[in-house]
Structure 1
């Protein structure tokens, strides 16, 4: 609240206020991946732009799961009212998720054993692949959910985390 002007400082429009990862779809993983999941969810909730197409501006809750190799995005309002469920094939994301996984493994290894310049080089590559995956995800959500690039990046991190089952 901006007390000097009596206005709220919250941005107008739709946003996510909670993200739930389906326990049945997502097994526990390495500490690094668990950390990435937690940070991505925290960052996503803190700052996002999330507007289901055809819905009025509101606070939304997103439940992510994987069913038969498809990404399921269940969206409800903050009060629990169901809004829409979108099911997306993971096939268009499969290669980029594999590439991102390989570069993340290299990055985590580099953090433990490499020089700062080597770590920086790997991290630049990691961010590039992450941006590519985020762009693909935005394209897959087109006509379903409007998100900005920051929100797409955080969602891609969660999609990446979902592939860790088993």
Structure 2
């Protein structure tokens, strides 16, 4: 058995996002740091992800994320724009985590400008911890709806955070 087999098997066994669209009506202008994080998250998400709506085939999908009436909307289509499913999730379970993440991100971006490397590292560890917590909650909210791995959930949480500015 080759060492590559286990790494390639999950990708072939699951669906994949090939495009992610953030609804323009759901996004307000934000800081350059948040804009950068959003762009990187979308790029990384498309490059490497596991995303498969439960009960649907392991194919390529397009995800449109939006916030409508304080709810997170996952609109999922096939690569050729066929509607698959739309999931509407309450933002309530994520609200406190997003607020905490926002505060720690502000501290982190300020620290980058003025703090010592050890202070930046300590704040970044806290930031990653809150980010992981938000990702885990997002995975729980998607359970039974969409199968994602932790890396995909982390990148999706970054996008949910980006949407919070207006939502």
TM-score by length of 1: 0.93
Give SS of 1:106's match: helix
Cα distance between partner residues in 1 of 2:15 and 2:139 = 17
CA distance in 2, matches of 1:125, 1:9: 33
1:11 Cα deviation from its structure 2 partner = 3.2
Q: C-alpha distance in 2, partners of 1:35/1:28?
A: 12
Match of 2:28 in 1: 27
Q: Is the 8 A contact 2:11 2:50 kept in 1?
A: no
- Paired residue secondary structure (2:57): coil
Alignment of 1:111-122 (within 5 A): 111-122=112-123
Counterpart in 1 of 2:136? 135
- Paired residue for 1:5? none
> Please, what is the CA RMSD of the aligned residues?
1.6
TM-superposed CA distance for 1:10, in Å, is 10
Q: Which consecutive unaligned segments of at least 5 residues does structure 1 have? A: 1-7
Q: Residues of 1 paired with 2:96 and 2:57: CA distance?
A: 35
Q: Tell me what 2:126 maps to.
A: 125
Runs (4+) of structure 1 exceeding 6 A deviation are none
Q: Find the residue that maps to 1:74 and give its secondary structure.
A: strand
What is the CA–CA distance in structure 2 between the aligned matches of 1:149 and 1:10, rounded to whole Å?
13
Deviation at 1:134, TM superposition (A): 0.3
Give SS of 2:39's match. Answer: helix
More helix as a share of residues: 2
Q: Contact 2:101–2:130 at 8 Å: present in 1 too?
A: yes
Q: TM-score, normalised by structure 2?
A: 0.92
| CA shift for structure 1 position 49 | 0.3
Aligned position for 2:90? 89
